[in-house]
């Protein structure tokens, strides 16, 4: 099976054939750096990092562009409210997003362009739209003429009569459905010179200009959250195609992280901040959780769901550590046919995880039966598959520890006393006491393995 992806534009599952053989070009709408990221922001980064890793696993060289919107009404407002320069405010939260990406093992983008670094390209694109009759200048602003482009609404399915841009009326705007390409300067705001007067770019034009700069007028995949489908992505495709660019060949949209059925959003206060969540689980467990559902589905957040997901990850980690301790190093090999079929079917991660857990259970049974070569083969497949999802427990960027480190240290001290008492009983040939201690630990979910270097313990994997 070859890779098929659900294209929002066509509403169909389509075979992915890269525009240039051996090379995939991907653009992801990144953050508007106005505040600290929450886990809803990070889902998009995680699920499309999995896409990137799977493209790479398929032998493709991947150019992955993720932009930064560093000039925006929200940034200016929040910076002013806090008495800080806008550029400092944006840079502060850009670093916060970068730290969050790194913490969750998201691969660095091939390039991460900022809107303010591409004013020249933005002005050139606006000029092309004016020259082609699809944009007009008015009172220092420039607007895209929505009615001049008959295909408007084709991506999102919006009817032209139902379009609402969410913008202010604007002096000189001919139609409320038109959207802003260039905002004339207001007192106290940052601005750049332009043929239409000093000002700054509108939100939508930024991504069209930056994707073209790094990926060309036509590229393979445009990604982003479902909340960006309208108006942002609709306006992107309208202005780019109106300017003569073929633009994106596939559109992929991820579902939201929700709480009580509502999209996670700072504006309504239902957010789970990254630092708070990382008090409950480790970074790799949070990443596993965010990537565990199908990328197009909604992911309902609760502490219980997060803990269950963390336990599922720990069962994989426990198996791989068990094989490492009892058999030896685990090398990467190849994925199973079931895993490949799942990932090629629009990145069906839940099915891929089911395959991983099936092989994990197989491997544990083989290890219990003394078949170390079979267990090592299963472990190699499990490690290779989980690495595609970006959460290889043996990778050097993840701490190899089950659960919270302080809790595990305390548990280790408690179990060490029991193991010492068991060793003393065995030395005195008091096997009844030794067996009683082992049985008590096993009832508590602690597995004991006797080795030449003494007894070792691990938390029994679940499921």
pLDDT of 405: 44
pLDDT of 434: 87
Number of neighbouring beta carbons within 10 Å of residue 21: 7
Give 270's pLDDT tier (boundaries 50, 70, 90): low
251: tokens are: 């559109």
128: tokens are: 């092309």
- The larger pLDDT score, comparing residue 268 to residue 291, is at 291
pLDDT of 417: 83
Mean pLDDT of 37-58: 96
Mean pLDDT of 442-462: 72
Over 70: is that where the pLDDT of 1 sits? no
Cis preceding linkage at 231, omega within 30: yes
Give 268's pLDDT tier (boundaries 50, 70, 90): low
- The larger pLDDT score, comparing residue 287 to residue 461, is at 287
CB burial class (10 A; 0-12, 13-18, 19+) of residue 310? buried
Residue of 385, 389, 348 lying closest to 4 (CA atoms): 348
Segment among 177-186, 216-225, 260-269, 281-290 with least mean pLDDT: 260-269
User: What angle, rounded to 10 degrees, do the helices at 73-81 and 86-103 form?
Assistant: 110
Please tell me the total number of residues recorded for the chain in this structure: 463
Over 90: is that where the pLDDT of 272 sits? no
Distance between CA 95 and CA 35 in Å, rounded? Answer: 11
Residue of 288, 323, 327 lying closest to 308 (CA atoms): 288
Residue of 23, 82, 32, 97 lying closest to 55 (CA atoms): 23
pLDDT of 109: 98
Over 90: is that where the pLDDT of 412 sits? no
Segment among 17-31, 45-59, 71-85, 398-412 with least mean pLDDT: 398-412
Segment among 70-79, 140-149, 420-429 with least mean pLDDT: 420-429
Mean pLDDT of 407-420: 73
Nearest 5 degrees, angle CA 355-CA 361-CA 367? Answer: 135
pLDDT of 269: 67
Q: What is the model's pTM? A: 0.86
List CB contacts of 278: < 8 A, sequence separation 6 or more: 103, 286
Distance between CA 427 and CA 457 in Å, rounded? Answer: 19
pLDDT of 403: 45
Mean pLDDT of 300-327: 95
Over 60: is that where the pLDDT of 248 sits? yes
Give 212's pLDDT tier (boundaries 50, 70, 90): very high
- The larger pLDDT score, comparing residue 452 to residue 118, is at 118
List CB contacts of 197: < 8 A, sequence separation 6 or more: 140, 184, 185
pLDDT of 277: 92
Longest dimension (CA), the chain: 94
Decide if 393 contacts 386 (C-beta within 8 A): yes
Whole-number mean pLDDT of the chain?
92
- The partner residues of 223 in beta bridges, in order of sequence, read 28, 252
Over 90: is that where the pLDDT of 77 sits? yes
Residue of 256, 359, 309, 317 lying closest to 459 (CA atoms): 317
pLDDT in tens, 342-397: 999 999 999 999 999 999 999 999 999 999 999 999 999 999 999 999 999 999 98
Three-state DSSP class for residue 24 = strand
Over 90: is that where the pLDDT of 43 sits? yes
Ordered DSSP codes for 140-197: TEEEE-GGG-TTTTTTT---GGG--------TT-S-TT-EEEEEEP-TTS--B--TT-
Decide if 42 contacts 100 (C-beta within 8 A): yes
pLDDT in tens, 122-170: 999 999 999 999 999 999 999 999 999 999 999 999 999 888 888 877 7
Mean pLDDT of 7-28: 97
Q: Which domains does the chain have, with CATH numbers?
A: 4-254 (3.40.50.620), 274-388 (1.20.120.640), 405-459 (no CATH)
pLDDT of 433: 92
pLDDT of 454: 74
- How far does Cα 21 stand from its chain's mean position? 26
Over 60: is that where the pLDDT of 452 sits? no
Over 60: is that where the pLDDT of 409 sits? no
CB burial class (10 A; 0-12, 13-18, 19+) of residue 262? exposed
């Amino acid at each position: 099976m070859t890779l098929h992806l659900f294209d929002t534009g066509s509403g169909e599952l389509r075979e992915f054939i890269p525009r240039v053989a051996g090379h995939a070009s991907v653009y992801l709408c990144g953050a508007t750096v106005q505040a600290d990221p929450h886990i809803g922001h990070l889902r998009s980064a995680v699920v499309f990092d999995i896409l990137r890793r799977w493209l790479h696993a398929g032998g493709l060289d991947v150019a992955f562009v993720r932009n930064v919107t560093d000039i925006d009404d929200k940034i200016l407002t929040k910076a002013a409210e806090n008495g800080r320069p806008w550029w400092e405010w944006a840079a502060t939260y850009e670093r916060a997003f970068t730290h969050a990406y790194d913490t969750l093992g998201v691969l660095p983008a091939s390039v991460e362009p900022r809107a303010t670094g591409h004013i020249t390209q933005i002005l050139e694109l606006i000029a092309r739209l004016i020259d082609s009759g699809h944009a007009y200048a008015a009172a220092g602003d420039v607007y895209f003429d929505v009615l001049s482009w008959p295909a408007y609404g084709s991506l999102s399915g919006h009817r032209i009569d139902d379009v609402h841009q969410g913008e202010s009326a604007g002096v000189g705007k001919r139609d409320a459905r038109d959207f802003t390409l260039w905002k004339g300067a207001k007192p106290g705001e940052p601005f750049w010179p332009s043929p239409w007067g000093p000002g700054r770019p509108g939100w939508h034009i930024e991504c069209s200009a930056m994707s073209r700069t790094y990926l060309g007028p036509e590229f393979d995949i445009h990604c982003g959250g479902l909340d960006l489908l309208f108006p942002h992505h609709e306006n992107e495709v309208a202005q780019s195609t109106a300017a003569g660019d073929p633009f994106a060949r596939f559109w992929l949209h991820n579902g939201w992280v929700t709480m009580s059925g509502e999209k996670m959003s700072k504006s309504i206060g239902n957010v789970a901040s990254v630092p708070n969540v990382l008090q409950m689980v480790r970074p790799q467990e949070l990443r596993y959780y965010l990537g565990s559902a199908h990328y197009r589905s909604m992911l309902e957040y609760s502490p219980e769901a997060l803990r269950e997901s963390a336990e599922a990850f720990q069962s994989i980690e426990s198996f791989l550590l068990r094989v490492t301790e009892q058999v030896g190093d685990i090398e990467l090999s190849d994925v199973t046919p079931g895993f490949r079929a799942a990932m090629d079917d629009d990145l069906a991660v839940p099915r891929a995880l089911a395959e991983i857990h099936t092989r994990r259970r197989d491997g544990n049974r083989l290890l219990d039966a003394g078949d170390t070569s079979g267990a090592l083969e299963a472990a190699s497949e499990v490690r290779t598959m989980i690495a595609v999802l970006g959460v290889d427990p043996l990778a050097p960027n993840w701490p190899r520890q089950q659960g919270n480190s302080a809790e595990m240290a305390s548990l280790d001290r408690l179990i060490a006393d029991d193991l010492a008492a068991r060793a003393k009983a065995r030395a005195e040939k008091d096997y009844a006491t030794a067996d009683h201690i082992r049985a008590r630990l096993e009832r508590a979910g602690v597995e004991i393995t006797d080795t030449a270097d003494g007894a070792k313990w691990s938390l029994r994997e679940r499921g």
